[in-house]
Amino acid sequence: MTDFNLFDMQDLIDYLIEVAKKQKIGLKVCNDWPADWNSVGHAELNLICYNPNFLPAYRRPIELAHEIGHVLAHHPSKNPVNTKSCDEGYEAEANKIAIKLILKYIQENDLQFETRQQLMDSFGIPESMVYSVDKVINSKNTFQYNLFNTVSIDGLF
């Protein structure tokens, strides 16, 4: 496995920005936001405000993918991403879409992982999303960790 370095991270961010464009989602890059502000998806506005300064940096792709998930699933957007007042059902759904988007990237780039933990470490997927990772993975009976080409994103691509 190759380490998920900064170049790869930016490549994935660019990929996710392209996904947003293809899905006709507006994307505002908030260059003046501080490092502790999460990116925010506004489904009603069909808009994502992406924070390119967010730290830790390795969380930027999964955060962006998660917000794309909220907008694609038309979730109401009244709260910042990281508050506990967010609806847990919405959060789980956004996480699942985010993980599917990352699996799609892995598939298109022909990347291989032997374990779920390698996958999560490489893409900065937080431990709190492990349940969603398993849900996505187990939704395909034929899935094996080294067979990401069996993954598809239902209805999105």
Using CB under 5 A as the criterion, which residues of the chain lie in contact with Zn ion when the complex forms?
81, 91, 94
Nearest approach, Cβ of 48 to Zn ion (angstroms)?
Answer: 12
Which residue number, 40 or 148, has a Cβ lying nearer to Zn ion?
40
- Do 153 and 104 meet the contact criterion of CB atoms below 8 Å apart? yes
88 CB contacts (<8 Å, ≥6 apart)? Answer: none
Q: Which two tokens stand for residue 109?
A: 């780039």
Nearer to Zn ion, 30 or 81 (CB): 81
Cβ atoms 27, 50 nearer than 8 A: yes
Nearer to Zn ion by Cβ, of 57 and 81: the residue is 81
Least Å distance, CB 94 to Zn ion, is 5
Q: Where are the beta strands (DSSP E) in 39-109?
A: 40-42, 47-50
- Taking the least distance from each CB to Zn ion, the nearer of 1 and 26 is 26
Q: How far is the CB of 150 from Zn ion (least distance, A)?
A: 27
In the block, residue with structure tokens 């003046």: 32
> Cβ 132 to Zn ion, closest distance in Å?
11
